[in-house]
Chains A and B, each alone.
Chain A
């Protein structure tokens, strides 16, 4: 039944997309995020759906889109360079087979991220992409929120639609992404033109944001809690009554605590007792290993190079009350092939210093560019551009939440995040072009042109 639904649904989307070929790009984004082929058991499962849809989206762009408004930016060029560099490190990888496995999906994410800004040449297209990303993520977030309210959950226990551990379906990733999209949901609810901001849109947005906040509780990922705190601090910047906001946040926090499941409180408690937590100890040991590894291979070991690690670490002795006794356990914990658990170390270990620097410019550059846009448009202060500053701020907040969340999760190549990067690049190039189009021209120039004619 579900198979037939997805086949029919895709058919419907494609039918609409043939009237407006840009929609094919959004259909690809939908397939990449929700992965309907994984939610079905046959039919879609048996065909290379992503490949077909990317081919259609590209053909739609080449055949029917106006290319005169297409612009690129330095970050776009860097995306292409990063793609080429990843290809090179895959070729030189220390674990060739494992590297090719990751390369098989990374190159698609980077190619699509590079393709997307070329198509974002109107305001409506940028908004349509934002809405698609939010609605696609909501397929997982609504189910996660409802299951959390119903009392289910647990790290690696809660099943979001399907029991797989890739893309947004992985616990830590969804809890980081769910918080990162909250600013974009708010922007859509206040400045959207596809769904005009009436009471229904605002009510749904509020419910969706609530579900987003429930995700870290439901999946019990500590990353999510850190992301919530970061986002709360970022909102301080725009809060009109800051003291009231801080007091409200503190009261809300205190009121919420008694309703949180005990398991969640216990797991979050391990953030401050990280020394006694095996998961945290492993991370620190892996990061140390990566640091040593990259000293020998500054150009990186290629994708999934962590498979080679063999780490040993000691655990403090815990007494019956759960307190650290200060003694170190005599038995060392030996582990191997532990993942990076940090996007920064993932980039450093896999792509070396050049890869990490490029990645940082692409991501931190997003924060800087959005700040630059906000400053430019604050000066311009035009009525028809009122939507710009809130969108730039939303994208900047999302980026910062991602950058902090990815300190503890290896999501350096998460396709969803690259779509947000593509949206930033698209917004940036679109606004630059529009500013040039509306630029002030002296009357004498206009006179000159008239006399030439």
Chain B
């Protein structure tokens, strides 16, 4: 009785999950991610160096 209940419950949920998955297009193809706002890694480090920072406009 307990065994059958457990089998039924887990199998029903798995079948339902499979059904939902058949309806999802993003299972096979995803939209490309949004581009990063800022560079990472070396690019980020180089940009942060004081000599590479954009100079402020001189006061008039």
Contacts and interface: CB of A to CB of B under 8 A. Distances in A.
B40 to A, nearest CB: 7
A124 B7 CA distance: 25
Given A122-B27, A124-B24, A135-B14, A438 B7 contact: no
A17 B32 CA distance: 25
Interface string A108-139: 00000000000000111100100110011011
Contact of B3 (A66, A128, A161, A195): A161
Interface stretch (A84-92, A142-150, A286-294, A332-340): A142-150
Interface stretch (A20-28, A41-49, A233-241): A20-28
A440 B43 contact: yes
Interface in B1-31: 2-7, 9-11, 13-15, 17-22, 24, 26-30
B17 A128 contact: yes
A435 B14 CA distance: 31
B33 A194 contact: no
Contacts of A124: 21, 24, 26-27, 30
A266 interface: no
Interface in A396-433: none
A22 B18 CA distance: 11
Contacts of A13: 14-15, 18
B14 A22 contact: no
Interface string A6-33: 0001001100110110110010001000
A320 interface: no
Nearest to B11: A9
A138 B40 contact: no
Nearest to A143: B6
A26 B18 CA distance: 9
A143 B21 contact: no
B45 interface: no
A67 interface: no
A143 B17 contact: no
B33 A146 contact: no
Given A23-B22, A135-B13, A438 B6 contact: no
A132 B10 contact: no
A382 B20 CA distance: 27
B27 A125 contact: yes
Contacts of B24: 124, 194
B11 to A, nearest CB: 6
B56 interface: no
Interface of B is mostly: helix
A22 B32 contact: no
Contact of A147 (B2, B29, B36): B2
Contact of A122 (B9, B11, B28, B39): B28
B39 to A, nearest CB: 4
Nearest to A430: B30
Contact of A440 (B10, B22, B40): B40
A125 B21 CA distance: 9
A2 B34 CA distance: 49
A231 B20 CA distance: 32
Contact of A438 (B2, B4, B18, B36): B36
B18 A16 contact: yes
B38 interface: yes
Contacts of A442: 39, 43
Most buried by A among B18, B22, B28: B18
Given A124-B21, A143-B6, A437 B33 contact: yes
Contacts of A319: none
20 contacts: A9-B11, A16-B18, A20-B22, A20-B28, A23-B18, A26-B18, A66-B29, A122-B29, A122-B30, A136-B10, A140-B6, A143-B2, A143-B3, A146-B6, A147-B2, A161-B6, A435-B40, A438-B32, A440-B40, A440-B43
Given A9-B15, A22-B28, A194-B17, 20 more contacts: A2-B4, A9-B11, A16-B15, A16-B19, A19-B22, A20-B28, A23-B21, A122-B27, A139-B7, A139-B10, A142-B6, A161-B3, A161-B7, A195-B20, A380-B36, A384-B34, A438-B34, A439-B39, A439-B40, A442-B39
Interface of A: 2, 5, 9, 12-13, 16-17, 19-20, 22-23, 26, 30, 39, 65-66, 122-125, 128, 131-132, 135-136, 138-140, 142-143, 146-147, 150, 161, 194-195, 379-380, 382, 384, 434-435, 437-442
